[in-house]
Structure 1
Amino acid sequence: MNINVARNTELLILLIFVSVCGTAPLNGRIVGGEDAPPGYWPWQVSVQLRGNHFCGGSLINKEWVMSAAHCFSGLQGENPNKVSRNVAKIILHPNYDSETYDNDIALLRLSSPVRFTDYIRPVCLAASGSVFNNGTDSWVTGWGAVKEGVALPFPQTLQEVEVPVVGNRQCNCLNGVGTVTDNMICAGVLAGGKDSCQGDSGGPMVSKQGSVWVQSGIVSFGFGCARPNLPGVYSRVSRYQSWIKSRIPYNDFVFDIIQN
C-alpha cells in the first residue's frame, strides 16, 4: 500500500469533543456506555471517508494521529468544538498481520497541525515496560455500534465506557489459546454488557495515572460485542514506543512508564 495515497482521497480526520498530553481540563466501539460530556476526552479522533465515520483514533501531537492498521490495510485511495484535517500520510506497522491482528497499529500524519484548546489535546502514551495489571481501571471511547448490528443513533454523541484490564493469560483462555499475543492487551467485564464494538476500531483505551491520562491500548478486535467471558482485545501501546519514535521525525509527544 502506498502510504501517500491518502493525499488524493477525501479521507478526513475529525477531532470532536476532544483537547497538553493526557490532560482534560473539562473532565471532572462502545456497548453499555453513556454519552461523554464535551471536553472529557480531548484526544479522541473520528476517521472519516467521504463524510462517514469508519474508525477511531487518538491525537498524539499536533500533527499525528494513532489508530489501528486494519482500518487502512485495504484503503486505496455539527459540533462547534471540532476541527477537520485531511490525512497526508498513512503508515502501517510493517509486521501487521491481517489474519491474527498482531501489530494492529497505524500512524496518520495530518495535512496541517491542529491548535490545542480545552477541547483538542494529545494523549500521553504508555512507555515500554509499562504494566497494566489485571483489573486496572480503563476507559474506552468511540462512535461505534451500541449493540451488535445496532449503529449509534442520532445525534451520534461520543460514547464512553469503563472496563477493567483482563490479564493476557486469562484472556487467551477465554478467547482461544494463541489468539492474544504479547503485543495485545485485553479489557472487558466478564459478565458482559460493556465493550467496544464495530466502528470503535482504532480508538483509544486509557487509564488515569494521577492527574494524567495514558493510552494503554488501541481498539483492535473481539468476538462479538460485550458477550460474557469474551473481553475485547487491544493493541498494547507500550510495545511500540521505538517504532513510533522511528516514524515520527520529531518527538514532541510523551511516553509515561506505568507500574501498577
Structure 2
Amino acid sequence: MRFNTVLCVVGVLLLNLAGSFCQLDVCGRAPFNTKILGGSNATAGSWPWHVDITSAELRISVCSGSLINKDWVLSSATCINLILDQIVIYLGRRSQFEPDPHEITRTVLNVINHPDYNLSTRDNDIALVQLSSSVNFTDYIRPVCLAADGSVFDEGLSSWVTGWGFTRWRVTTWGDIEIKDSDLPNILQEVEMPIVSNQNCSVAYNGKGVTITDNMLCAGQLNDAFKGPCVLDDGGPLVSKQGLQWIQTGITIMDDACLEKNITGVFTRVSQYQDWINTHISNEKPGFIRVNFTTPTPNTTPDPNPIPDPNPIPDPNPDPIPTLYFPDIFSGSSPSLQLFPLSLTFSIFSLIFCLFI
C-alpha cells in the first residue's frame, strides 16, 4: 500500500512537471510569417509576440516588448521605467495609427526590474511586466520562445528585429539651431540583422563610452548603411528561427545606434536570465530552448595525395551558401525536453493505476 501511495505521488509530480513545458507547444510559432530603420512593413500576424508599449498621453508607440506567456511581457527596464505611470500595452497590433481588428489592450499590474540593472551602462537592462489580465492566444497573439542558458550565437546568425521606432532620423544644424528630421511608421517594421561577435562589437564602440558586457549581444552590419533599431524601438525583441520556432535571443537597448555610422545594434542577452525569469514566473513558465548556433570550420589543410573520383556525380542542386547547423531540440540540446514525453506517459499511467488500488 505504501508503494502504491508513493507511485501516485510521483505520478502527480511528474504530471505537474510536464505542465511546466506547455509553453513549448505554442511559443515561437507565427502562422503568417514566411520570414526600424532600413526595414520594411511586416505582414499581419508575422510577429504575434511583439508588444506595443504606448504612452497614453502621447498616443504613440514609445517602446516595445515581447509576450512570453499569457500574463507576462519581457522588455527593457529603461523602457518601462520612463513611462510607467502612463503605459497602455497593445497585443496583436500591426498599425499604430489606424484601427486594427486583431489588437487587444492591457494595462500594467506589476513590473519587476533586474536587481543589477544599471541605467548609465545599460547592463542587465531587462524587466518583466505583468499584464492586468491574462490574454487568450490567437494566430495574431502568441508567446515567443526564449533562448535558454548556455545558448551560443556565433557571428553571422540571421536575426530579425521589429518595432515602430523612427525609420528615418537625421540631425542637422542651421546656425545655432539643431534640426531633427525623422519619420514614424504606421505599420510595424521588420529588418534582418546578422549577429556580430562581442569582440567586434566592442571595437566598433571603442571610444564612444559604451562597454559591451557578457550580458549583451550585438547584431547589424558594420557599414555606413545602418539597418536596425532606432529611437523608440527600445525593449523590442531580437529573434532567430530554429526549426519551426522563433526564439528571442535579445532585447533592444541603446536604440540610438542609428544616429552613428559603423556601429551595430546592442541587445540584452536573454539567455543570461533564464533563472531570474523563472524565479519570478511561477505558473506556465516561458518556453526556453537552447540555441547552439555554430558555423562549421572548414578544413583548410590540403590533402598531400588527393585521389580524384573516376566517376564524379554532379550535384543537381548546388547550394553556394554554407550550411548552418542547428541542433534538434529533442536530441541533446535541451535535456528537459527529452524528459517531457517520458514524464507525461509515466504520470498518466501512474494516475490510472491509482484509480484501481
TM-score when normalising by structure 1: 0.88
5+ residue gaps in structure 2? 1-25, 86-98, 170-179, 294-357
* 1:164 pairs with one of 181, 194, 212: 194
* Other structure's SS at 1:42 match: coil
CA distance in 1, matches of 2:80, 2:198: 26
Could you tell me which of 42, 65, 68 is aligned with 1:60?
68
Aligned residue among 42, 49, 52 for 1:46: 52
Q: 2:141 aligns with which of 120, 141, 152?
A: 120
Deviations 1:145-198 (A, max 9, x none): 102251324xx1000000000000110111127610000000011123311001
Structure 1: which amino acid aligns with 2:291?
I
**Residue number among 153, 163, 167 corresponding to 1:132 in the alignment:** 153
Q: 8 Å contact 1:124–1:254 — kept in the other structure?
A: yes
Q: Which has a greater percent of helix?
A: 2
Q: Pick the aligned partner of 2:287 from 250, 254, 259.
A: 254
Instruction: Write the letter of the residue equivalent to 1:122.
Output: P
1:213 counterpart (246, 258, 271): 246
- 1:222-258 superposed Cα distances (whole Å, 9 cap, x missing partner): 5540744200100000000000001112243200000
1:186 aligns with 2:218: yes
Instruction: Provide the rounded CA distance (Å) in 1 between the counterparts of 2:129 and 2:287.
Output: 17
Between Structure 1 and Structure 2, which shows a larger proportion of strand residues? 1
Partners of 1:86 and 1:224 in 2: how far apart? 29
Aligned with residue 152 of structure 1, among 177, 184, 194:
184
Match runs of 1:81-120 below 5 Å:
81-120=102-141
How many aligned positions are there?
A: 238
In the alignment, which residue of structure 1 is the partner of 2:206? 176
- Tell me if structure 1 keeps the 8 A contact 2:162–2:238: yes
Aligned amino acid, residue 274 of structure 2 = Q
Deviation readout 1:75-117 (Å, 9 max, x if unpaired): 4531001010111111111110000000000110001111101
**For residues 247 and 259 of structure 1, what CA distance do their matches in structure 2 show?**
26
Q: Counterpart of 1:26 in 2: which secondary structure? A: coil
Moved more, 43-52 or 30-39: 43-52
Q: Which moved more, 1:196-205 or 1:227-236?
A: 227-236
CA distance in 2, matches of 1:74, 1:229: 28
Quick one: which amino acid aligns to residue 199 of structure 1? Answer: L
Answer yes or no: is the 8 Å Cα contact 1:55–1:200 preserved in 2. yes
Q: Hey, what's the Cα distance between the residues in 2 that align with 1:25 and 1:168? A: 33
Q: Which residue in 1 is equivalent to 2:27?
A: 21
* Counterpart residue number, 1:15: none
Q: Distance in 2 between matches of 1:66 and 1:54?
A: 15
Any conservation in 1 of the 2:257–2:264 contact (CA below 8 Å)?
Answer: no
Which has the larger Rg? 2
Distance 1:222 1:55 in 2: 10
| Identity percentage of aligned residues | 49
Structure 2: how far apart are the matches of 1:75 and 1:21? 28
Q: CA RMSD in A?
A: 1.5
- SS across alignment from 1:73: helix
